[in-house]
């Protein structure tokens, strides 16, 4: 049985169909990236799964419990970080976690143990006694995660956990998600694509309330037809020669110049065969004594896939 | 019950986490004292009772109690913490009750801090302490009614100022339902039964009875019934409005 089953979930707001028959399921051990432009219906879907918002149609089940008929049973099994990690600014970190723990029904000893664990794991010891409103964004987000993980749920729903964080904090957040993944079912919404590649085992792309793609990040990339591209940087004066040489390498389909600055020219090589091309291109340039400044597999092209899919 | 207690403690603490509690206590005590001694002519009356003191409570509550109730839900909605609160595995009415009780307990605390009035009047003469106790209870119940109304109305908006105005206006109507201006407005077109019903809704009339020493079961039922009605409406409203 899937940990999360979303079944034709729909939500209308007056005349706007915010979520339109969204269906997917998440198994234990999966980290699903919920991707989409702003206003695509990501948050609305998450609010319905967590029982905050009533669906207009369809339903969601968590560990077999239907959110429409067993809301609290579902909520007890989910750890949820709402968008923007809201928390009571006038409370200290400790008092806030204590409060959430009590509402989660954790008894005294268990509560202390779990709060201790969260404080240790999310490095909250230094800010434990501080009011949440005085904390930096990164710490506030960590408090939000601590709150979501407090009862050690098997299902975790995180709405834009890295939004507004600086690069170091983003890195930490991803490390954390990776660390807790394993035995849980996790849904992470984001509009940052690198994040999906960094932590997700699967990506669901949603736009205008509909699911447009549901596949592993690698599969999504291979559909794009540009996954096999490599990028070569050579000196600008050797540019024409390099181009001709590369064009003759086996499996290369096209070579195009994508830029020339500071005396260096960049070429994009597209072909079949992936890594072999990198090796072959490197070898042919080396054999003809053309200095290669940089040579790499092109990556981070998920945004192209995303554009392609969401603007179709 | 565990949920209600946790919410109660958090909300009660929240009053003291900002200057609200201190400001509220000082203003209430200063105003109630000023009204009693200057407007009410406490000494001039030459009577050892607290009638003048209690007679100003409804009007003070009209302005001050909405200030206690306005934040209860409007603030949660504004800050987005309502999404956190209402995705925890708890029943909505437990939250509603916890928040209300916190505000009510705070009102009770403020009321208790007027004890020097009681000491004064006992020092000056031999008042009927039974009536005074009944009046305190009546005053606290009336604060409860206005607070439950304020809490309920604050579920309608994200804006605390709007919540305040709604609560003050609603309280005003509830308070004045029994006076002639309102009844005179109804009489020409409403049936006698309706007019009588509206008259019994007046929070003020019931309170005045209590301060004269008449405390009836119907009055208690009336106040507690109003509170229960408001809290019930509050639960339904916040369920409906939470995600908007």
Q: Please check the confidence at residue A200 and state whether its pLDDT lies above 60.
A: yes
State how far residue B47 is from chain A, nearest Cα, in angstroms. Answer: 46
Given pLDDT bands bounded at 50, 70 and 90, which one contains residue A55?
very high
Q: Name residues whose C-beta falls within 8 Å of residue A64's C-beta, 6 or more positions apart in sequence.
A: A1
Given pLDDT bands bounded at 50, 70 and 90, which one contains residue A263?
confident
Alpha carbon distance A41, A83 (integer Å): 13
Partners of A89 on chain B (C-beta within 8 Å) are: 79
> What is the structure's pLDDT at B61?
94
Q: Please check the confidence at residue A225 and state whether its pLDDT lies above 70.
A: no
B228 or B41: which leads in pLDDT: B228
The string of pLDDT tens digits covering residues B108-123 is 999 999 999 999 889 9
Alpha carbon distance A14, B65 (integer Å): 36
Q: What is the DSSP string of A162-206?
A: TTT--HHHHHHHHHHHHHH-TTSEEEEEES-HHHHHHH-SEEEEE
Partners of B80 on chain A (C-beta within 8 Å) are: 82-84, 86
State how far residue B81 is from chain A, nearest Cα, in angstroms. Answer: 5
Alpha carbon distance A71, A49 (integer Å): 9
State how far residue B18 is from chain A, nearest Cα, in angstroms. Answer: 8
The string of pLDDT tens digits covering residues A124-136 is 999 999 999 999 9
Q: Please check the confidence at residue A299 and state whether its pLDDT lies above 70.
A: no
> What is the structure's pLDDT at A248?
82
Nearest CA in chain B to A55: B243
> What is the structure's pLDDT at A170?
87
> What is the structure's pLDDT at A223?
64
Nearest CA in chain B to A107: B2
Name every residue in A having a CB less than 8 A away from some CB of B: 47, 50-54, 72-73, 75-76, 78, 80, 82-84, 86-91, 95, 99-100, 102-105, 131, 147
Given pLDDT bands bounded at 50, 70 and 90, which one contains residue A210?
very high
Contact at CB, B89 and A102, closer than 8 angstroms: no
Nearest by CB to residue A99, choosing from B6, B242, B243, is B6
Mutate to test the interface with A, among B87, B90, B240, B244 (most CBs of A within 10 A): B87
Given pLDDT bands bounded at 50, 70 and 90, which one contains residue A273?
low
Contact at CB, A90 and B14, closer than 8 angstroms: yes
DSSP 8-class letter at A71: H
Helical segments of B113-159, H only: 115-124, 129-154
Alpha carbon distance B147, B142 (integer Å): 8
Contact at CB, B83 and A47, closer than 8 angstroms: yes
Q: Please check the confidence at residue A87 and state whether its pLDDT lies above 90.
A: yes
Query: Can you count the helices (H) and strands (E) in chain A?
Result: 11, 14
Given pLDDT bands bounded at 50, 70 and 90, which one contains residue B42?
confident
Nearest CA in chain B to A50: B87
> What is the structure's pLDDT at A240?
84
Partners of B91 on chain A (C-beta within 8 Å) are: 72
Domain layout of chain B by residue ranges? 2-243
Q: How many CB pairs under 8 A join A and B?
A: 69
State how far residue B126 is from chain A, nearest Cα, in angstroms. Answer: 46
- Classify burial at B112, counting beta carbons within 10 Å of its beta carbon; exposed 0-12, middle 13-18, buried 19 or more: exposed
Q: Taking the mean position of all CA atoms in its chain, how far away is CA A57?
A: 27
Average pLDDT over residues A164-180: 87
Range with the poorest average pLDDT among A54-63, A149-158, A197-206, B93-102: A197-206
> What is the structure's pLDDT at B153?
96
The string of pLDDT tens digits covering residues B59-92 is 999 999 999 999 999 999 999 999 999 999 999 9
Nearest by CB to residue B243, choosing from A53, A73, A95, is A53
> What is the structure's pLDDT at A274?
57
> What is the structure's pLDDT at A275?
62
State how far residue A78 is from chain B, nearest Cα, in angstroms. Answer: 9
> What is the structure's pLDDT at A9?
95
Mutate to test the interface with A, among B14, B16, B83 (most CBs of A within 10 A): B83
**Two tokens, residue B74:** 């409007």
Q: Write down the mean pLDDT value for chain B.
A: 90
Given pLDDT bands bounded at 50, 70 and 90, which one contains residue A152?
very high
Q: What is the total residue count of chain B?
A: 244
The string of pLDDT tens digits covering residues B185-197 is 778 887 888 877 7
Alpha carbon distance B226, B234 (integer Å): 12
Given pLDDT bands bounded at 50, 70 and 90, which one contains residue B231?
very high
The string of pLDDT tens digits covering residues A101-114 is 999 999 999 999 99
Partners of A91 on chain B (C-beta within 8 Å) are: 10, 13-14, 17
Contact at CB, B88 and A89, closer than 8 angstroms: no
Contact at CB, B2 and A102, closer than 8 angstroms: yes
Contact at CB, B10 and A99, closer than 8 angstroms: yes
Contact at CB, A86 and B84, closer than 8 angstroms: yes
Alpha carbon distance B242, A52 (integer Å): 8
> What is the structure's pLDDT at B84?
96
Instruction: Report which secondary-structure segment, H or E, holds A255.
Output: strand A252-261
């Amino acid at each position: 049985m899937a940990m999360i089953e979303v079944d034709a979930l729909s939500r209308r707001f007056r005349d706007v169909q915010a979520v339109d028959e969204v269906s997917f399921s998440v198994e234990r051990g999966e980290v699903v990236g919920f991707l989409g432009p702003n206003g695509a219906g990501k948050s609305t879907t998450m609010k319905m799964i967590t029982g905050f918002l009533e669906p207009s149609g369809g339903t969601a089940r968590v560990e077999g419990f239907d959110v429409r008929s067993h809301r609290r049973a579902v909520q007890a099994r989910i750890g949820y970080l709402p968008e923007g990690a809201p928390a009571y600014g006038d409370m200290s970190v400790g008092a806030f976690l204590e409060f959430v723990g009590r509402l989660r029904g954790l008894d005294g000893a268990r509560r202390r143990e779990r709060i201790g664990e969260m404080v240790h794991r999310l490095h909250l010891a230094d800010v434990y006694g501080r009011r949440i409103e005085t904390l930096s964004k990164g710490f506030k987000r960590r408090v939000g995660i601590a709150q979501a993980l407090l009862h050690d749920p098997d299902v975790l729903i995180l709405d834009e956990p890295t939004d507004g964080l600086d690069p170091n904090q983003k890195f930490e957040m991803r490390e954390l998600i990776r660390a807790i993944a394993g035995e849980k079912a996790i849904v992470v919404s984001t509009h940052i694509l690198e994040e999906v590649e960094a932590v997700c085992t699967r990506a669901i792309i949603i736009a205008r309330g509909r699911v447009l793609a549901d596949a592993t990040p690698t599969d999504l990339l291979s559909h794009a037809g540009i996954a096999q591209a490599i990028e070569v940087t050579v000196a600008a004066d050797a540019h024409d020669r390099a181009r001709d040489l590369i064009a003759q390498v086996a499996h290369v389909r096209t070579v195009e110049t994508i830029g020339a600055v500071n005396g260096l020219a960049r070429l994009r090589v597209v072909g079949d065969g992936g890594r072999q091309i990198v090796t072959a291109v490197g070898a042919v340039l080396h054999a003809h004594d053309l200095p290669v400044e940089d040579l790499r597999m092109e990556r981070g092209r998920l945004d192209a896939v995303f554009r392609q899919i969401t603007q179709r | 019950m565990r949920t209600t207690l946790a919410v109660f403690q958090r909300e009660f603490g929240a009053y003291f986490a900002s200057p609200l509690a201190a400001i509220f206590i000082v203003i209430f005590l200063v105003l109630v004292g000023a009204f009693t001694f200057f407007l009410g002519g406490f000494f001039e009356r030459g009577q050892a009772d607290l009638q003048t003191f209690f007679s100003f409570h409804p009007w003070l509550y009209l302005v001050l109690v909405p200030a206690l109730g306005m934040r209860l839900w409007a603030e949660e909605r504004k800050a987005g913490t309502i999404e956190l609160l209402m995705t925890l595995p708890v029943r909505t009415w437990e939250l509603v009750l916890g928040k209300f009780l916190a505000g009510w307990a705070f009102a009770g605390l403020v009321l208790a801090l007027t004890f020097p009035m009681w000491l004064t009047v006992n020092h000056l003469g031999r008042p009927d302490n039974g009536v005074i106790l009944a009046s305190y209870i009546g005053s606290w119940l009336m604060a409860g009614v206005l607070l439950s109304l304020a809490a309920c109305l604050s579920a309608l908006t994200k804006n605390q100022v709007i919540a305040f105005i709604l609560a003050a206006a609603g309280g005003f109507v509830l308070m004045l339902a029994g006076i002639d201006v309102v009844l005179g407005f109804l009489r020409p077109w409403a049936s006698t039964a309706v007019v009588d019903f509206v008259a019994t809704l007046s929070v003020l009339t019931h309170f005045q009875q209590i301060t004269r020493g008449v405390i009836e079961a119907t009055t208690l039922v009336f106040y507690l019934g109003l509170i229960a009605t408001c809290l019930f409406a509050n639960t339904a409203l916040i369920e409906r409005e939470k995600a908007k």
